[in-house]
Amino acid sequence: MSGKRNIIVIGASAGGFEAIKQLVAALPADLDAAIFVVWHMSADVTGMLPQVLNRQNTLLATNAIDNEPISCNHIYVAPPDKHLLLEKGVVRISRGPKENRFRPAVDPLFRSAAESYGDRVIGIVLSGALDDGTAGLWTIKSRGGIAIVQEPAEAAVPSMPESALAAVEVDYRVPIAEMATLLVRLTAETVTEASEITMEEQRKTAIETRIAAQNPALRQGILTLGTLTPYACPDCHGVLVAITDGDIIRYRCHTGHAHSADSLLATITEQIEDTLWSAIRGVEESILLLNNLGDHYADKNQPKLAAMYFKKAQEAECRAEIVRQTVFNHEQLSTASISTQAEEDEG
C-alpha cells in the first residue's frame, strides 16, 4: 500500500493526558497527516481532551463522529465509552465489546488502522498502565507501519511503553520532546513497497475489527482464531479463546470481550479479593445470626442449646479470621510485577 505515512494513531492511559498535550503543542499546524487518539477514560467523563488540545493552537482537535471523512491537519479523539475505528476514508465510532477492560481501547484503533492503511500507519504508545496497545502495535508493525513508544524512563506510568518494547520490534523509543520532530520527518516519507501479510493474519485482523464495530463475535468466527481455554471471561463469564500475535498471547471470549494476558491476570486477581471479602461478609452474617439465636434460647431458659449456638459462632469467627488474613496477604498480580520479582530474585 503506497503513499505518504500520514495516518498517526496514538494510545495512552494513566499519565498520558500530559504526554498527549506536550506532543500536540510541539506539532506544526500544517502537519500533513491525520491523527487519531485513544486515551483511557471513564464512561461518564465528559470528552474534554479536544478542548484542551485546541488550546495548544496547533492542529484542530474534535471528538470523532461516526462516518465523518478523514482529513489531514486534524486530530480525531475517541469520545467517552466509544471505540474509535478507521475505515478507508472515514472514521467509525462504536460501542463494541470492551478490550482490556476499556472502551475506548487502544488495540481496536491500532488494529483497524493497520487493516485499512497498512504501511502508511505510524503507531505511538504513550504513558499508561498494563499493556493495552501492545497487540495493536504488533499488528501495525507486521503490516509495514512504524512503531514508536515514549521513553519509559520519562513516562508517568511506564507499563504500556515497556510492554510494547518487550513484545514488538519498535522502530523508535523517544522522549516526548523529540517526538514531534520525528513525526514531521516520517510523514514526509513515501512508502513504495507493500508488506506481505498472510491470509490468516488478514482474516484475524478483519474479524477482530468487525467485532469492535459491533458485529457478533460468534458469527464472525472468533472461535476459529485460537485455542479454547479453561478460563472464563471476567466481563461475561464466556469461554475464552487464546490468540497469538508473534510471541504475544491474548484472549477473546465468544461474546467479543478481549483481554491481554496482563489485563486478564490483573482482573482475575482483583476478583479473588472481591470474592474473599464476600466470603467474610457471609461468615460474619452467620456469626450475627448464631449469636442472636443463642440469646434467644438463653432467654427461653435453654442454656445447653444456647451454649451450642455461641460455640458455633466462635468457631465461625475463627474461620472468618483465617479468610481475613488471606485477604490481607493476597497479592495483586500483573505480568510486570512478576517480571520485576523474577529480576529481583536473580539479583
Written as one string, the DSSP assignment of 131-178 is: TTTHHHHHHHHHTT-EEEEE-GGG-SS-HHHHHHHHHS--SEEE-HHH
What Rg, from alpha-carbon coordinates, does the chain have? 25
Are both 87 and 179 inside the same structural domain? yes
Are both 31 and 128 inside the same structural domain? yes
Q: Which residue's entry shows cell 495512552?
A: 12
Question: Residues 26-35: what's their mean pLDDT?
Answer: 96
Are both 166 and 296 inside the same structural domain? no
> Residue 284 falls within a domain, yes or no?
yes
End position of a domain, from candidates 157, 173, 191:
191
Are both 151 and 276 inside the same structural domain? no
> Residue 150 falls within a domain, yes or no?
yes
Contact (CB, 8 A) for 142 and 201: yes
Are both 176 and 297 inside the same structural domain? no
pLDDT per residue as tens digits for the range 120-160: 999 999 999 989 999 999 999 999 999 999 999 999 999 99
Q: How far is the C-alpha of 268 from the C-alpha of 332, rounded, in Å?
A: 9
> Residue 213 falls within a domain, yes or no?
no
> Residue 331 falls within a domain, yes or no?
yes
Residues in the chain: 347
Are both 289 and 149 inside the same structural domain? no
Q: How confident is the model at residue 338 (pLDDT cuts 50, 70, 90)?
A: confident
Q: How many domains does the chain have?
A: 2
In the predicted structure, residue 265 carries a pLDDT above the cut 80: yes
In one-letter notation, the amino acid at residue 13 is S
Domain boundaries, position 56: 3-191
> Residue 70 falls within a domain, yes or no?
yes
Are both 42 and 147 inside the same structural domain? yes
pLDDT at 294: 97
Are both 34 and 116 inside the same structural domain? yes
Phi first, then psi, for residue 284 (nearest 5°) are: -70, -30
Are both 62 and 168 inside the same structural domain? yes
The SS3 assignment for 50 reads helix
pLDDT per residue as tens digits for the range 84-107: 999 999 999 999 999 999 999 999
Closest CA to 125 of 150, 143, 100: 150
> Residue 105 falls within a domain, yes or no?
yes
Contacts of 94 (CB under 8 A, 6+ apart): 66, 82, 83, 85, 212, 213, 214
- Report CA-CA distances (Å) from 139 to 68, 119, 135: 24, 11, 6
Are both 269 and 162 inside the same structural domain? no
End position of a domain, from candidates 159, 191, 223:
191
> Residue 277 falls within a domain, yes or no?
yes
In the predicted structure, residue 29 carries a pLDDT above the cut 90: yes
Q: Which residues are catalytic?
A: 13, 40, 132
Phi first, then psi, for residue 19 (nearest 5°) are: -65, -40
Which CATH number belongs to the domain containing residue 110 in this structure?
3.40.50.180
Are both 162 and 286 inside the same structural domain? no
Contacts of 151 (CB under 8 A, 6+ apart): 161, 173, 174, 175
In the predicted structure, residue 194 carries a pLDDT above the cut 90: no
> Residue 223 falls within a domain, yes or no?
no
Are both 174 and 295 inside the same structural domain? no
Closest CA to 334 of 277, 254, 269: 269
Q: How confident is the model at residue 62 (pLDDT cuts 50, 70, 90)?
A: very high
Q: Which residues of 147-178 are buried (b: 16+ CB within 10 A; e: fewer)?
A: bbbbbbeebbbbbbbbbbbebbebbbebebee
The SS3 assignment for 253 reads strand
Please state which of the ranges 28-37, 193-202, 231-240, 298-307 shows the lowest mean pLDDT.
193-202
End position of a domain, from candidates 168, 191, 214:
191
Question: Residues 307-320: what's their mean pLDDT?
Answer: 96
Q: How far is the C-alpha of 123 from the C-alpha of 33, rounded, in Å?
A: 13
Q: How confident is the model at residue 2 (pLDDT cuts 50, 70, 90)?
A: low
